[in-house]
Amino acid sequence: MSYDKGNKRAVVLLSGGLDSATTLAMAQQQGFDCYALSFHYGQRHISELKAANRLASSMGAIEHKVIKLDLRAIGGSALTDDTIDVPETMGTDESKIPVTYVPARNTVFLSLALGWAEVLEAQDIFIGANAVDYSGYPDCRPAFIEAFEALANVATKAGIEGHPFRIHAPLIHMSKAEIIQTGTVLGVDYGQTLSCYQADAEGLACGVCDSCRLRAEGFAAAGIPDPTSYLNK
């Protein structure tokens, strides 16, 4: 493998949720050989890693790597700190960043994706960040993606030696319904994905957290049957 026109490797961040599965399908459609990267970071919803495993395998990722990283050591989020409750609704104040925000999470994840991409001699990294439904998360906005791409190209041997990285966030301006419609056309099996912030060990979704609510509304708006297995339904 080397940096030439034939190099179409990409690292794709794969959480196991609906967005990252769609992102993987879109990267594949663009002709990339995809290397899926997930994190075991102390998240409450560990069953999402099982979903990531299933998806990487069934969707034909070249490799699926899971990196252990204890973000609980840092805390500060309902998703990594048992003393902070996962809220049932985001509330009406959309300017407020929700407690499910994990400090610097996408920065950390993209950094590790960058390291792996450099080892693989891949120049393309895909992340399923979305600024529409999660406008409260700073690290899901276009300005963040652009700043990370600028960083990547001075932070690495590859970048300064003339092999620039591209950070792709193809969902960033899409609504949840558009994401679901796009993925459905590309053949994504959303029954294999898991979006819930507090799914149980079997991967059943709670049906009441923000993430479940946004997902359900997305299927309804897309006019596509929701294949999610809910705990409370």
- Residues forming contacts to a copy of itself in the complex (CB under 8 A) are 65, 67-71, 73-76, 97, 101-108, 111-112, 114-116, 118-119, 138-139, 141, 143-144, 147-148, 150-152, 154-157, 159-161
Q: Which is nearer to a copy of itself, 3 or 29 (CB)?
A: 3
Residue 1: CB atoms within 10 Å: 10
What are residue 49's phi and psi, to 5 degrees? -70, -35
Q: Which is nearer to a copy of itself, 149 or 226 (CB)?
A: 149
Q: Which is nearer to a copy of itself, 10 or 114 (CB)?
A: 114
Distance CA 154, CA 161 (A): 9
3-state SS record for 126-152 = ECCCCCCCCCCCHHHCHHHHHHHHHHH
**Distance in Å, CB of 53 to a copy of itself, minimum:** 15
**Distance in Å, CB of 36 to a copy of itself, minimum:** 13
85: amino acid identity, one letter: D
Distance CA 162, CA 157 (A): 9
**Distance in Å, CB of 225 to a copy of itself, minimum:** 36
**Distance in Å, CB of 226 to a copy of itself, minimum:** 31
